[in-house]
Structure 1
């Protein structure tokens, strides 16, 4: 594959816009922003009907990027930087992939990868396209958007003929060939427009820009920066912004801000802070430039911020250094803004970029900081569509003229940023949101939440029904695969939510909440109607009435099997009922799950322990037995002195005695999993306890507990003691060795080693929560083969043990895990017993219009137990790879007669930035692994992608699949090509010919 982008000629660019718009989109964007009846503001003496736009970077490097931005609502365009190094010379220096924007963003790209004249042509084409689109599609005033050039990186380079010519021709393009070409095409094709007239085309001004943003490299001397800006002000007579680096803050300040906001893992040294422009030099320089510009009736300001270089520590990108942006940059950028606003008394104009998005854009603009340009938010799902919501939000402040930057508002934003969940880093690292599957060439839309769920629940289906108020129907969908809606609705670890696409917007869809709403709202109506599906002449015994045992009873009884469940405890529900604290889940709701199984006919025999499986089976004439005994063997904490209370024993005692245990004033919990969080929160509620300390040998970031569990413990006042390893308990103190974290290793993990420092923690009671094990002796006593860890040896396809007809499920089969995994284990065993599949997959029932209506919109879920309506139904429409591609190189097409849209990769638009790989739900990179349209057959030779290229205008193509090439003719019914791929090639030729440049 070539990473060199091929610009689209203007005639093809406009043809695509016009034809694709008739299909309902423009460069893949299915909705647009219309700035109707607005009173525009002014900037640099020109009208401006919006204060936002794309920053100099990937979103302004090609004409189509500019078009997509304008269509979405951008009105100020900071064009990608041009400099003396360009084209293939520069591309050869940029490591690829060069962008990853999963959370905060990193990149290792620089200026335009086109040659400077090519970049110029792209900007002119984008200028003309936006002008006529404004009129044709009622997007706004054709003269109320602005282009701003970015040039760098030294004065010598800026004065070179090709850059000098670029600046001059951007100032006035009327005599250039591309300007004439664009204008001529529009005049010759007026019949293709409904609203654009000859007068409109003739009125398109050739003075494309009157402003510039100066970009300099790190280490550029103050004298050079001042010389560049002075030259552009005096010689080129341009309104000028100078980019400022966060290094102006100083190393200690920047490090402290990032550490406080959870970005302590981001690594950088003080090198650039010492080598870059110093704040003491910056202020007088900026004042001189401000006065110079004022003397020439020009505006002057700063652009905050330029790049923030950090070290590559975890293989984020294939380089040694990368540039950080996005939410981690916000507080740094605003802190620079605060300093300059203070020292200039608000008179210094600030153009802002550094973590701006929907959640903070209004406050930024209200503080007097604009224009605001952005990149990171556009590189996430929703892409350019994110502009629409922001543009609409800012309409009410549009006409307010700029007076000054308000210091108090800037200071307030910085203070609030330190606790803003949209800006701070979560305590825990982001979970892996990709599946372990490879993206298919066709029909790739998938439901990541269902894929991640161990029982593949139909999450979008019951979520939609909950939102429609159809709780009975929603619960019926849930019960098809999930027999424990109350347990999972209350305390499921919801791995489905970690895979939710909305994580890339703001917050995952509250799937567990939707489930609980359905359970509570539908239970009374559903319960009486539960009837066995038939009669199965089998009788099955289940040992254990925890989640796995109840699930097995439910599935088998529903199918018509006679089921008997035995448990040594007096209350069914296992650990959930007898150990997990009541503040986590109401006892009556646990029993409602038991009642569902009983309603189908399952019989529970409580207070009866089973020790001899063979006798148990023979005495009751069971055809099969399922062992669901849980994992209760203690993993003891070994101390030199003193003993520790086992976590499960403590929780059971706490529950039985209603939180009135004699623990003393100071309790220390050793461990860091979800059970440890339950223990710590329970201890906080225990009578007489004043302090609860949680000790762990690593930091919070590496704790195995879920983010949600961790946050709840923190909120309730548990005192976290990190990097400590306890070794003795005596005299009311727990003695611990201080641990030290190593650097990140190749796996992304940091090991720990013990130091000589000893730390004392006040302690009356130690509770150990370091895991539970399976008691292998039970299996061995019953003649069941076990592994060296005491787990039963099971057949993978059925969970059958070495004893025929005896199955195992849940924690007792695989070790301590989660409820939904216990359900999956039970389901597998039941399917083997029943010899049939349990549950039916239900695709999302929605429309393109509904989903496209949600795309790009950032919306937090309602607080409390309210239905979450934000689901994007990813199996109906995904298109993440299309959203996040700044060049629009991934494209969704509609194949006639095929419901699911198909994704193709357009090779000539791609520069291998790699961003689509970050957001594809598969373990794949769409720019390498989706069916690819090549510009020419020769370009297939530079790529290993499966794909196709047309060799003439008569529908003859070369196709490569699995590395094998073949000739194909559009419409060929006898082709050896897989019919789905043939449909794809045919559709591109017949319905999307505008993709063929």
Structure 2
């Protein structure tokens, strides 16, 4: 496997397009086409453009198929990937070269093809678009624009190689590749219904009338002016000059990025000092503008180039990378505003820098166009995101006066630093890949389901809610989760951290959809639940919190005789006695308790049955300790008026009239319980100020982002980087901390500064981590570890004492509700297996097989909605994933239909891949599809130079193939009765050869 792409000849390119579109309704994997419905156009450089946006010079304009995929998706302006004299194999590009998880980084800057190869790709793309626009009636054949991009110094740009490239795009008629494209269409005219000879002969060879100049960082202003003057004077091209964000100055850029959450982006001042300076730029741009006017041409600026950032944590290979995407938006808009004000709105601006579905209308309405995009197309949805953008732009009014609305532009500059779509959240929304390797076949997977500790069938129940089938949805939920109201209200929703929509807009509100199902079908579900006949060994559950309740439900459902012993006067544990009422009302908890008890679970309240020996004497064969973490964590500060958070919250929830907080409350801690305490204190009578003290910053607090945000919105004042020392006479003294290097948890270590600060505090609430009281384990001779947590079998959670189990907090320390349910499931499974010799009976729902409806959601961005509409945002990844297909700029990952499979399978096409690594970023597995998916090789030599599992066709007529599986290479004839290849892999090979032979 190599990182060099093999361009597709025009004949094969057109046959691929024709066959794929006719048979599968796709073109290079794009299954939604944008068709211009009116004749509304804009004019620039004497050319017309239907939708004033398209791909920036980058990965989406490097190959002909990339440009074609962008066009059918609605793009009409194409900034071709930059060429320079250093090209092809001589150009060193470290791989992987793209990291687009959130804001984007790259370490490549121009085409990886030879200049002549790049030229051929652009001509093939131009000719293909002229044919497709008319044949498929996607829009006017004259409704799109190609803009060439060259770099990086005068010597290179004026060299024969680049000069030939420039002149060849000004007029391609004499080139071999032009003649090849033209002749193919003429020779195959009968294959087209809307194309005739006259039309083909009328296709203009004037591919580019404009050029964008891209110079390296540190290029002197005189050099830039010299090149631009040459392009205007000698080449007669409408000219844009790319401007680097460094034009704004170090202080402005640093302050802006810090203010919107990108304070971790590392860069120094040297580029700002060496690059073009703003005042020099203004003088130069005026001169070039005047020159262009004299020549009857246009001059403008391209805002902005990518931003140089230092590589600190091996994000990509090398020492420096280039940043783009959402972090660049406020900088690019600020530069546009500043330049446009200098020129009274009369400077032409081509825009790039974080443009996407959410802001593109606002950018266009300032008068800025064309607008180019890259990062948004590198994310899930890929090229198909452009359809939605094109539809959005096509509804706007087009005014062909190229004058900026500076007032709107200045307003947009101010709004950009507050735009939620371009601000880095305090904590990441996406929590990382699932800990599995991608399989060769059937790799579609719901990352949300994998992220859930109990593997809830999330897409399935969302699909039922979407159809209004709430009872069916709730049945699916309670198969694995008997506490739908509690988890539907306060679950830590690990599922949402894995949701694919995090790469689009924001996670599907999975937790709320669960609650919808529970609220709408609770009574119906209760009515159909039946008490099963109890048989087998009796089970005692010590602790009536959520873990104990869940275990009781699963065991009772299997016919076990279960009794819960709860030392307090009500079931529910922490959720009943500690979690504030405003977060989790009593009625909500009681519904789940009723659900559990409806199966015949017995309950003994105010009962401290802590002895295994006594419980065994009472006839219980199995004992589960599901005790909560009620032991206070220790806060080492001097002074009085310090209360533990659990004591505080329990007294508050029980409406203890003796609890007096005073005016100033300090909560010490950064977890969810600390947020609960702070929010509860804000509601307490007489309290004026609530301060939350933490020794790190918000970014490193363990609290969920949602809980953190609610505390901020409710007026809790965060005191970051402080460590409390002592409280005296209503004053809490704290030491100021600084962030040091990363520790083993991946967070920056707090380092004492020696400086002190005082905070007004009538009371301090300690929320620094509760523990399980291990006395109960020791008294029953249960082995514990150094943290005084029970030692158990990892599968069954059985302790060293046969028939005795520990689950929940006693195992992990303070655990989430859903982690407790996961433990309860393990225990129930172990007990039922031992007692009844079968597994827990779980009826799994059918997967949604409406592939067409699911595919229609691809590339559609929309923020969270209320009610049933939220279900529509679910991408149903258990049926269709194809993230690697979406995000590949070169279309090297292809979804195919395979005999015997209702779901699509993924084939990686080696010759189209340059190992950019983008598919690795978005694959939900801990895998890189370009290395690990089943690969189609074009030649035997490519097969031999790779370690990928895959195949190469040796003899198409006789169906001989060479296949690599694991470390074994087989040469087989597919017509033989036993190939030795697994059937699912053999079917994939047959599918490629039989139905997708244009790929071979």
Map of 1:945 onto structure 2: 948
Deviation at 1:400, TM superposition (A): 2.2
Q: In the superposition, relative to structure 1, how do residues 549 and 746 fare at CA in structure 2: closer, same or farther (>3 Å)?
A: closer
Say yes or no: does 1:589 pair with 2:588: yes
Distance, in Å, in 1 between the alignment partners of 2:692 and 2:657 is: 19
Deviates more, 1:576-585 or 1:598-607: 598-607
Q: In the superposition, relative to structure 1, how do residues 748 and 667 fare at CA in structure 2: closer, same or farther (>3 Å)?
A: same
Map of 2:398 onto structure 1: 399
Deviation at 1:966, TM superposition (A): 1.0
Deviates more, 1:433-442 or 1:650-659: 650-659
Map of 2:614 onto structure 1: 615
Distance, in Å, in 2 between the alignment partners of 1:972 and 1:383 is: 40
SS of 2:898 mapped into structure 1:
coil
SS of 2:691 mapped into structure 1:
strand
* Mapping of residues 156-555 of structure 1, within 5 Å: 156-397=155-396, 399-533=398-532, 535-555=534-554
Map of 1:933 onto structure 2: 936
Distance, in Å, in 2 between the alignment partners of 1:968 and 1:746 is: 50
Map of 1:563 onto structure 2: 562
* Mapping of residues 678-697 of structure 1, within 5 Å: 678-697=676-695
* Mapping of residues 644-723 of structure 1, within 5 Å: 644-657=642-655, 661-723=659-721
Deviation digits for residues 587-623 of structure 1, max 9, x if unmatched? 101000000011111121111111222102312x112
Distance, in Å, in 1 between the alignment partners of 2:744 and 2:777 is: 39
SS of 1:903 mapped into structure 2:
strand
Alignment partner of 1:816 out of 814, 817, 822: 814
* Mapping of residues 551-950 of structure 1, within 5 Å: 551-619=550-618, 621-642=619-640, 644-657=642-655, 661-743=659-741, 749-835=747-833, 836-863=839-866, 867-950=870-953
2:466–2:868 Cα contact (<8 Å) kept: no
SS of 1:132 mapped into structure 2:
helix
Distance, in Å, in 2 between the alignment partners of 1:385 and 1:865 is: 25
Deviation at 1:431, TM superposition (A): 4.2
Distance, in Å, in 2 between the alignment partners of 1:407 and 1:367 is: 7
Deviation at 1:674, TM superposition (A): 0.8
Map of 1:960 onto structure 2: 964
Distance, in Å, in 2 between the alignment partners of 1:297 and 1:260 is: 43
2:261–2:425 Cα contact (<8 Å) kept: yes
Distance, in Å, in 1 between the alignment partners of 2:236 and 2:298 is: 10
Deviation digits for residues 848-879 of structure 1, max 9, x if unmatched? 21111100010112147864321111111100
Deviation digits for residues 200-228 of structure 1, max 9, x if unmatched? 21121101110001100000000011111
Distance, in Å, in 2 between the alignment partners of 1:139 and 1:536 is: 69
2:630–2:772 Cα contact (<8 Å) kept: yes
Map of 2:983 onto structure 1: 979
1:532–1:559 Cα contact (<8 Å) kept: no
Using structure 2 for the length normalisation, give the TM-score: 0.98
Deviates more, 1:34-43 or 1:262-271: 34-43
Distance, in Å, in 2 between the alignment partners of 1:396 and 1:43 is: 19
Distance, in Å, in 2 between the alignment partners of 1:141 and 1:660 is: 78
1:436–1:923 Cα contact (<8 Å) kept: yes
2:51–2:75 Cα contact (<8 Å) kept: yes
- Name stretches of at least 5 consecutive residues in structure 2 with no aligned partner: 834-838
Distance, in Å, in 1 between the alignment partners of 2:665 and 2:112 is: 60
Deviation at 1:397, TM superposition (A): 2.4
Deviation digits for residues 386-418 of structure 1, max 9, x if unmatched? 100000001122632133111121122222222
Map of 2:836 onto structure 1: none
1:659–1:687 Cα contact (<8 Å) kept: no
1:304–1:352 Cα contact (<8 Å) kept: yes
Map of 2:6 onto structure 1: 6
Distance, in Å, in 1 between the alignment partners of 2:620 and 2:411 is: 70
1:631–1:816 Cα contact (<8 Å) kept: yes
Q: In the superposition, relative to structure 1, how do residues 369 and 938 fare at CA in structure 2: closer, same or farther (>3 Å)?
A: same
SS of 1:634 mapped into structure 2:
coil
Distance, in Å, in 2 between the alignment partners of 1:85 and 1:108 is: 15
Distance, in Å, in 2 between the alignment partners of 1:195 and 1:442 is: 40
Distance, in Å, in 1 between the alignment partners of 2:765 and 2:59 is: 53
Deviates more, 1:551-560 or 1:386-395: 551-560
Map of 2:42 onto structure 1: 41
- Name stretches of at least 5 consecutive residues in structure 1 with no aligned partner: none
Distance, in Å, in 2 between the alignment partners of 1:380 and 1:38 is: 31
Deviation digits for residues 656-680 of structure 1, max 9, x if unmatched? 1178730111111111011111111
Distance, in Å, in 2 between the alignment partners of 1:994 and 1:866 is: 40
Distance, in Å, in 1 between the alignment partners of 2:865 and 2:89 is: 50
Aligned length: 993
2:493–2:511 Cα contact (<8 Å) kept: yes
Deviation digits for residues 152-206 of structure 1, max 9, x if unmatched? 1111101111100000010000010000000000010112112222222112110
Distance, in Å, in 2 between the alignment partners of 1:867 and 1:145 is: 36
Distance, in Å, in 1 between the alignment partners of 2:746 and 2:577 is: 38
Deviation digits for residues 518-562 of structure 1, max 9, x if unmatched? 111111111121113554333211111100111111111122222
Using structure 1 for the length normalisation, give the TM-score: 0.98
Say yes or no: does 1:76 pair with 2:80: no
Distance, in Å, in 2 between the alignment partners of 1:982 and 1:126 is: 34
Deviation digits for residues 904-924 of structure 1, max 9, x if unmatched? 111111111101000000000
1:38–1:395 Cα contact (<8 Å) kept: no
* Mapping of residues 99-110 of structure 1, within 5 Å: 99-110=98-109
User: C-alpha root-mean-square deviation of aligned residues, in Å?
Assistant: 1.4
2:383–2:886 Cα contact (<8 Å) kept: yes
Deviation at 1:815, TM superposition (A): 1.4
SS of 2:395 mapped into structure 1:
helix
Deviation digits for residues 358-393 of structure 1, max 9, x if unmatched? 000011111101000010000000000010000000
Distance, in Å, in 1 between the alignment partners of 2:933 and 2:551 is: 41
Q: In the superposition, relative to structure 1, how do residues 968 and 848 fare at CA in structure 2: closer, same or farther (>3 Å)?
A: same
Say yes or no: does 1:88 pair with 2:86: no
Deviation at 1:736, TM superposition (A): 1.0
1:581–1:651 Cα contact (<8 Å) kept: yes
Deviates more, 1:508-517 or 1:560-569: 560-569
Map of 1:992 onto structure 2: 996
SS of 1:365 mapped into structure 2:
helix
Deviation digits for residues 746-797 of structure 1, max 9, x if unmatched? 9853222111110111111111111111211111101211112111111112
Distance, in Å, in 2 between the alignment partners of 1:922 and 1:752 is: 33
1:314–1:746 Cα contact (<8 Å) kept: no
Distance, in Å, in 1 between the alignment partners of 2:383 and 2:401 is: 26
SS of 1:236 mapped into structure 2:
coil
Deviation digits for residues 805-851 of structure 1, max 9, x if unmatched? 11111112221110001011011101111111342433531412111
SS of 1:77 mapped into structure 2:
strand
1:660–1:687 Cα contact (<8 Å) kept: no
SS of 1:216 mapped into structure 2:
coil
Deviation at 1:642, TM superposition (A): 3.5
1:268–1:310 Cα contact (<8 Å) kept: yes
